[in-house]
A and B are shown apart, each in its own frame.
Chain A
Amino acid sequence: MTEPKRLLDSADRGFAERLLASSVADRPSGAARRRALGVAAAVASASAVGTASAVTTGALVKGALVWALVGGASGALVSVSVAKVAAHFETRSPRAAMIINAQPSRATPTHQLVVHTDSGPTRAGGRAPLPVVEDESAESGQVPATEAEARSVAEPQPIHSARAAQHDAPSAPARSGTTRATLGMSAHSSAQAASGSQLPALPSSTPAPVPALHDVEDELAWLDQARRRLAAGDAGGALTRISAYQSVFPRGHFQPEALALRAEALAARGERALAQLAAARFLATAPSHPLAARMRALVDASADPQRDRSN
């Protein structure tokens, strides 16, 4: 095969070449890279590399079945998240303002709390022999990656880097002009760009305390992605993102919501035992959370497969 000379290698610096050259300088931001690495770490640890092929298709079908059920809950999640942001800043990020339009959930009837004594948070680290149900058993063996597990692998690098990313950002406005704006994470970048005028300007040389809004917006974007995945019927994709969130932001503002979303996603995938575990952990840590009723319902539904199917 004869390789023609590449346009960029030609001595000719015409308009076409100049346009092509502009792509060479087009680079993802450090934050985007770190997010990708965070996802890689989460995927690797959470979904048993190389063996998860069957998961997504099953998840799609199941996700489609429960999507009506889940829709309400994820709406609630976002609403709660937004409420938190608002509480933090008494302010209006445009992103939050947009999300806030998400459909609020209908009230879920409160169900009796059915929590197995062995499913409390204390056991989170262990790979418990869960009473896994029906044909999902093979998968749930791999996915189990309960948060603790996923975290143990993924934690070491992303945390620092995630923080570092936010320190980097303000100190390099030059790059952030181009690259931040080209972040994949739309909510993050766009909200920042949009709310730039409202944020206190940081001196470019000082690694000053980072406005927490960055964190929150970033966190929100992660969860929003997970939520959208779940709403689109891709529970596997949602779980990946949730795992990534949980490992990147171990002390994130929305850990309870992430856990709730995880429970929903697991339920959507038909992994009732794991969903129940996640829901129970949620209830143990945030019993009075607005989503608690929803989680109780999930625990109940999980406890009764017939009921779940009828949904």
Chain B
Amino acid sequence: MAWRPLLRDLNSLLSYPLPLGRLANGRADVRLRGIVAAHFEAMWRLLRRLGVPEHDLDDAVQEVIWVLARKLEAVAIESERAFVLSTAYRVASTMRRSRRRRPEMVELSGEHLAAPGPDPEGLLEQQRARAWLDEALAALPLELRAVFVLYELERLTMAEIAEALGLAAGTVASRLRRARAAFQLSVTAIEHRLGVASR
């Protein structure tokens, strides 16, 4: 019968707010920076593909970091990426809704198209492709676009997307289906317009 008290001890030991908790708190800033370092690129790309204009990207990134910092304690380690991406999605949709005109910023974007490089043609080709991609994506409603981008480009699994966007698995699947169809349509339209042979 000696195991009972032992068990209780173990229990109390486990539930005791040991240094572990404090450690986690003390390291919150380290963790935050770690998360940002690890997932910055993915969040940045998602924001872009969700249509956040170039001149708002820094703002959007900072917004995501800000939210992340506030909710850090509630974010499980294994869902950090999902959290970052879902926050980026929310930030993008909020920005989209409340986009204010900023006359002094707007006309400056897009100038990089003329930027020279060692392989200007390749570069230009990439940029063109990206511009078309964004155009094609822009035809998709944001909720479809998010699923599409997360799945096709950021390579999240459908389960991860469901978690990140707070959707049922079936919804993710059907959105992806619809998004693919819409994307194909949209791409075809662009292709048609450009008169580019697809293969």
* A interface residues (Cβ-Cβ under 8 A, vs B): 1-4, 6-8, 12-16, 18-28, 32-33, 35-37, 39-41, 43-45, 47, 49-53, 56, 94-95, 98-99, 101-102, 153, 173-178, 180-187, 189-191, 193-194, 196, 225, 228, 232, 236-237, 240-241
The answer to whether B165 has its CB under 8 Å from any CB of chain A is no
- Per-residue contact bits, chain B 57-100, to A (CB 8 Å; 1 contact, 0 not): 11111110110011111000000000000000000000000001
What is the bound-complex CA distance between A99 and B105, given in angstroms?
10
Closest to A101 in B: B104
What is the bound-complex CA distance between A24 and B155, given in angstroms?
11
**Number of interface residues, chain B, beta carbon within 8 A:** 76
The answer to whether B139 has its CB under 8 Å from any CB of chain A is no
Enumerate 15 A-B pairs (CB-CB under 8 Å) in ascending A order.
Answer: A15-B190, A19-B187, A26-B45, A32-B61, A36-B65, A43-B65, A44-B32, A178-B127, A180-B115, A187-B108, A190-B55, A193-B114, A193-B115, A194-B108, A237-B63
What is the bound-complex CA distance between A15 and B135, given in angstroms?
13
* B interface residues (Cβ-Cβ under 8 A, vs A): 25, 28-30, 32-33, 35-37, 40-41, 44-45, 48-49, 54-63, 65-66, 69-73, 100, 102, 104-105, 108-109, 111-120, 123, 126-127, 129-130, 132-133, 136, 151-153, 155, 157-159, 169, 172-173, 176, 180, 183-184, 187, 190-191, 196, 198-199
Contact present for A26 and B65 (CB under 8 Å): no
Contact present for B133 and A20 (CB under 8 Å): yes
List residues of chain B with CB within 8 A of the CB of A3: 157-158
Among B29, B54, B60, B133, residue most surrounded by chain A Cβ atoms (within 10 Å): B29
B109 to chain A, nearest CB (A): 7
Contact present for B48 and A36 (CB under 8 Å): no
What is the bound-complex CA distance between A184 and B62, given in angstroms?
10
